[in-house]
Amino acid sequence: MNIAVLIKMVPDTESRLEIVDGKIKEDGFKYMVNPYDEFAVEQAVQFKESVGGKVTLVSLFSDNSSIDTDLRKMMAIGADETIVLRQQGYRGDRTTSNARILSKTVKELDPDLVICGVQGIDYYQAATGPMVAHFLGVPHVSGVTNLELDGDKLTASRQMEGGLQIVESSMPILITAQKDMTKVRFPALKDIMMSKRKPFENREVEIEEGTDVVTVECSLPPSRGGGVILEGDGPEEKVDKLIEKLKMEAKVI
């Protein structure tokens, strides 16, 4: 089975978010593998281990090479090779244009299955998967919490309001991973050593002009000054005060 996994490098969740002149100050960001994409890598490797095949990681990023170590960790989990598309002036919020560029490389790999995370924890558009699927001309199932492989048939459990949609499909197909899909393993030391010898290819790509909406201004959400601590002798009195506030001020009960 030939599997491609899309990886997005996203600012670390501990990153300090500062706004200067309506723009996010990004120069101090450290980057990490988008957590949802790690579930996708783990799932791809589990399929490879059970039926054989190959797992190729594809990522689009700037020429900043500080991310290479983290991508190698994904190969230590069991992926076979990595292709990083290096783009001068890369931005993670050029959703459609980025999806189109990724899909060109994925198409060359001719995979049976493409997996990526349901969304990036930077811009939360949840769009890359469905868009890449469209550009590849394959169906997709998104937000999948469980994925079973039986011969050439896949069964996906897709999270929806109040339940799960159980979807069967043949391949090729694109799947986006929700958190419950897999539990990501800790690679053994020997796998970490081995990953250093696995193929890691950098390719230059250009920015494609596209239809992506440009953000004109970023701002921090209105800050919520800490409110009041409701004092009282014991829980009874505190709760009475809270209910009073919720009724009179917040008017929510």
Partner 1 sequence: MSTVILVGEVEGNEIKDISQQVAGVAAGMGDVIGLVIGKNISESAMKLAAGKVVIADDEALKYYDPVKYTSIVSQVVEKNGATKVLMGATTMGKDLGPRIAAKLGWGYLGDCLEASSEGFVRPNFAGKILARSKPDGPLVASIRNNAYPVGESWSGSVENFSGKIADSTLSTTSIEKVGAGTIELTEASIVVSGGRGLESPENYEKLIRPLATTIGAATGASRAIVDAGWVPHSHQVGQTGKTVTPELYLAIGISGAIQHLGGMSGSKFIVAINKDPEAPIFKVADYGLVGDLFEIVPVLKTKLENQ
Query: Which residues 64-93 are close enough to bind partner 1 by CB under 8 A?
Result: 93
Q: In angstroms, what is the minimal distance from the CB of 38 to partner 1?
A: 11
Q: Which is nearer to partner 1, 179 or 198 (CB)?
A: 179
Q: Which is nearer to partner 1, 41 or 84 (CB)?
A: 41
Q: In angstroms, what is the minimal distance from the CB of 53 to partner 1?
A: 20
Round to whole Å and give the CA distance between 147 and 200.
28
Q: Which is nearer to partner 1, 109 or 164 (CB)?
A: 164
**What value does the CA radius of gyration of the chain take, rounded to a whole number of Å?**
22
Q: In terms of Cα–Cα distance, which of 205, 6, 3, 4 is closest to 119? A: 6
Q: Which stretch binds partner 1 (CB under 8 A): 55-63, 64-72, 73-81, 119-127?
A: 119-127
**Residues between 166 and 195 that touch partner 1 (CB under 8 A):** 166-170, 173, 178-180
**Residue 103: helix, strand or coil by DSSP?**
helix
List Cβ<8 Å contacts ≥24 apart for 192-198. Answer: 192/73, 192/76, 194/76, 195/72, 195/73, 195/75, 195/76, 196/72, 198/72, 198/75, 198/79, 198/80, 198/81, 198/82
Instruction: Confirm if 164 and 158 have CB atoms less than 8 A apart.
Output: yes
Question: Judged by CB under 8 A, which of 1, 109, 149, 164 binds partner 1?
Answer: 164
**Residues between 20 and 59 that touch partner 1 (CB under 8 A):** 24, 35-36
Q: Which secondary structure element, helix H or strand E, spans residue 166, and what is its range?
A: strand 163-169
Q: In angstroms, what is the minimal distance from the CB of 156 to partner 1?
A: 9
Q: In angstroms, what is the minimal distance from the CB of 234 to partner 1?
A: 8
Check residue 143 for interaction with partner 1 (CB under 8 A).
yes
**Residues between 219 and 248 that touch partner 1 (CB under 8 A):** 219-221, 224, 226-230, 234-236, 238-240, 242-243, 245-247
**Residues between 120 and 139 that touch partner 1 (CB under 8 A):** 121-131, 133-135, 139
Q: Write the DSSP assignment of 104-154 as a string of letters.
A: HHHHHH--SEEEEES--TTT----HHHHHHHHHT--EEEEEEEEEEETTEE
Q: In angstroms, what is the minimal distance from the CB of 78 to partner 1?
A: 22
